[in-house]
Amino acid sequence: MHDTHVAPTWDPQQYLRHATHRTRPFLDLLARIPELPALRRPRIADLGCGPGNVTALIADRWPDAHITGFDSSADMLARARSYEGPTPGGGLLDFAPADATTWTPDEPFDLIVSNAALQWVPGHADSFGPWIDSLTPGGTLAFQVPGNFTSPSHALLGDLCDTPRWRARLGDQGRRFVHILEPEEYLKRLIDLGCAADAWETTYVQVLRGEDPVLDWVKGTALRPVLTALEDDPEAREEFLDQYRDLLRKAYPPGPHGTVFPFRRIFAVARKEI
């Protein structure tokens, strides 16, 4: 289902508070990407690059690559630009604004990668065809999206937004539309496009530290639409956060070593035929 949401605002600082847990799936994705075509220095796009820290990790694997991070958030791009410039291996890192909903590559890429971003892009699977068309022969499209939209953190958020109090205040702004497909569906679509494809899922049983860490986590991601809708109404924002915090505390009680917050993620890697 497509929605007509106002795009949420992003807070790089809040997002980066859980950088270690958020980076791990990207490293797992990177490890499954095959060698890129060796005809030239690799040209790589990172779609929905966010604050740029994972974009910079791509240069560890392909030190001489020219890597461009694309994102639609000016705040995220401003943060990412601290990584801009030549890389130690002779490559180049740069960043540019782009909306992944309409982005079509204007040059051939050897790798298009996207980490934890396509869940915000309605109809992204319909863009696989044009994206793969733009890949050089033997090039790869690889992405990871969260697959946790039925987990308590999201279900409770949806239920709270649907209560009469918040439905009246937020309308559809609080509602989170799910744009992801299941791994089998991604696999099928990528194979149908002529790729050698691999898709899988992993649930990371994360242990978070500190007080109300699940609330702190979702403030960086899933809560962005609600926080954006209540940006100019601090009282309502605090009221919403108090109610959601209580629900999360019951669903994810702290244990002696921290709070366990399982997180399912979906991965796909598709290599275009040579």
Ligand X SMILES: C[S@@+](CC[C@H](N)C(=O)[O-])C[C@H]1O[C@@H](n2cnc3c(N)ncnc32)[C@H](O)[C@@H]1O
Residue 73 contacts ligand X per CB under 6 A: yes
- Candidates 67-75, 175-183, 202-210, 245-253; binding stretch for ligand X (CB under 6 A): 67-75
Residue 117 contacts ligand X per CB under 6 A: yes
Task: Confirm if 268 and 118 have CB atoms less than 8 A apart.
Answer: no
Task: Confirm if 220 and 14 have CB atoms less than 8 A apart.
Answer: yes
Residue 120 contacts ligand X per CB under 6 A: yes
Residue 18 contacts ligand X per CB under 6 A: no
- Distance linking the first and last C-alpha atoms of the chain: 35
Instruction: Give the residue from 268, 274, 272 showing the smallest Cα distance to 113.
Output: 268
* Nearest-CB residue for ligand X: 50
Could you say which of 11, 18, 22, 139 contacts ligand X (CB under 6 A)?
22
Task: Confirm if 25 and 116 have CB atoms less than 8 A apart.
Answer: yes
Residue 99 contacts ligand X per CB under 6 A: yes
Distance of closest approach, residue 119 Cβ to ligand X, in angstroms: 8
Could you say which of 45, 116, 190, 215 contacts ligand X (CB under 6 A)?
116
Residue with Cβ nearer ligand X (58 or 248): 58
Could you say which of 37, 42, 48, 91 contacts ligand X (CB under 6 A)?
48
Q: What DSSP state is assigned to residue 101?
A: T
Instruction: Give the residue from 103, 104, 66 showing the smallest Cα distance to 86.
Output: 66
Could you say which of 68, 115, 134, 140 contacts ligand X (CB under 6 A)?
115
Residues 165 and 236: their CA atoms lie apart, in Å, by: 10
- Candidates 60-68, 69-77, 168-176, 207-215; binding stretch for ligand X (CB under 6 A): 69-77
**How many chain residues touch ligand X (CB under 6 A)?**
21
Residue-wise DSSP of 209-269: -SSSHHHHHHHTTTTHHHHHHTTT-HHHHHHHHHHHHHHHHHHS--BTTBEEEEEEEEEEE
As given in the structure block, the two tokens for residue 207 are 């242990």
Residue 215 contacts ligand X per CB under 6 A: no
Binding site for ligand X (CB under 6 A): 10, 22, 26, 48-50, 54, 71-73, 76, 98-101, 115-117, 120-121, 221
